[in-house]
Amino acid sequence: MFAGAAFAGSAAPHSSYPPGYTVDQALGLKRIRLEEARLQVEREREDLTEDQKRRTATEERNRFDERAHWQSEIQLLAEYARKLSARPAPGPTVPPRGIPQSSTIARNLEAFRQSAKLSYRGLATLIGCDHKAVTKHCRGERIPRDRFLSEYASAFTRNLQRDVTVEELRGVGKNHN
């Protein structure tokens, strides 16, 4: 039997309908509430669709911005490459007058280093320089500055217990042999 029928045409007292509503009124109210709920769901779907459209448009705009960014980066790199290729090739470096070729200094540094039984790192520690720089000086890949030449001379003087001069390292003056 229908639950509302026991109340003589009125809605059940425990229901969400106002007291005194008939079953027909309750059903009509129920239909209205269902229709309102359906419309609410439809509005929410439209809102979601609008949000999705906005999100899609934003993502598309971001992709376009990113593509434009990378295109500008590529253009900058291409321009830089053109500038580099347009530069004239550097000519051979000529040592300044009065300084002998690096090979003479390098041969002398290497000979003194071996005579003193020093490693590149040990010599670097004595003169207060990086061991990579000492290696390049001894191999002739780099000409040491005057300050380092005097440091080399001092270090060899202490280790070999004889006077070693900067001129000797440059190959000018007395020989160390």
pLDDT at res. 98: 45
pLDDT at res. 4: 47
- 8 Å CB contact between 146 and 166: yes
d(CA 144, CA 124): 12
- Write out the two tokens for 34: 């269902």
Q: What CATH class does 102-170 carry?
A: mainly alpha
pTM: 0.42
pLDDT at res. 5: 47
- Write out the two tokens for 65: 């911005």
pLDDT at res. 102: 64
Residue 129 makes CB contacts below 8 A (sequence gap 6+) with: 148, 151
Cross-strand pairs, 22: 10
The stretches in the chain having pLDDT less than 70 are: 1-18, 87-102, 173-177
- 8 Å CB contact between 131 and 121: yes
pLDDT at res. 70: 84
